Amino acid sequence: MKTTPLYIVAASLMLVAGTCQAEGAISFSRDITIDRAPATVWKYVGDFNALDLWHPSVRNSTLKGRSTKPGAIRTLKLSDGGEIVEKLLAYNAAKNSYTYTTLKSPFPIKNYVSTISVSPTADGKALMTWSATFDAVGVDEDIATEWIGVAFDGGLGKVSANFEKAP
């Protein structure tokens, strides 16, 4: 039997939910400080259709609509061959943030609503925050939260590594 690596499952779960756009009962958040200006980091992560550029488990992202207009739909192809469909709920360029929900996913989480934002720290660095609310379905809440944490850490880690290499 072939087993899907945990990091792929976790990355997929970060994007999971049902068609409902209500916030879930579980709240989760991770952040990372990056030694770059917030505008520079936002350029890298702020396009709703660019998750494939900075998340290691997303192979491809296609978009219907504009990546800054609520209602846009992105389809993510994962490195394990899975597919997730998400809808942009809000986009705020002035505040460097966007919020989305998942419309289609095979994973045991529903009511997934997530926000990615980049804000300045007191010393001019970028604080990237990735937060979500969701409900676990058929799995323990602690396990679902752990999966989301692994997924968020994978994306945030790649963003951080990108800027460590850049001048």
Counted domains in the chain: 1
Strands 26-34 and 58-64: unpaired
Tell me, yes or no, whether 74 lies in a domain. yes
Over residues 2-22, the mean pLDDT reads 42
* pLDDT score for 14: 42
Q: Enter the pTM of the model.
A: 0.83
93-102 pLDDT, tens digit per residue, is 999 999 999 9
Q: Whole domain around residue 159: which residue ranges? A: 6-165
What's 7-26 look like in SS3?
A: HHHHHHHCCCCCCCCCCCCE
Tell me, yes or no, whether 86 lies in a domain. yes
45-87 pLDDT, tens digit per residue, is 999 999 999 999 999 999 999 999 999 999 999 999 989 999 9
Please answer whether residues 11 and 58 qualify as being in contact, where contact means their C-beta atoms are separated by less than 8 angstroms: yes
Give one word for 157, left, alpha or beta, with left for phi > 0 and alpha for psi -120 to 50: alpha
122-133 pLDDT, tens digit per residue, is 999 999 999 999
pLDDT greater than 60 at residue 162:
yes
Tell me, yes or no, whether 1 lies in a domain. no
User: Which has the closest alpha carbon to 111: 133, 141, 143, 78?
Assistant: 133
Tell me, yes or no, whether 83 lies in a domain. yes
Tell me, yes or no, whether 73 lies in a domain. yes
Read off the CATH number of the domain in which 115 is found: 3.30.530.20
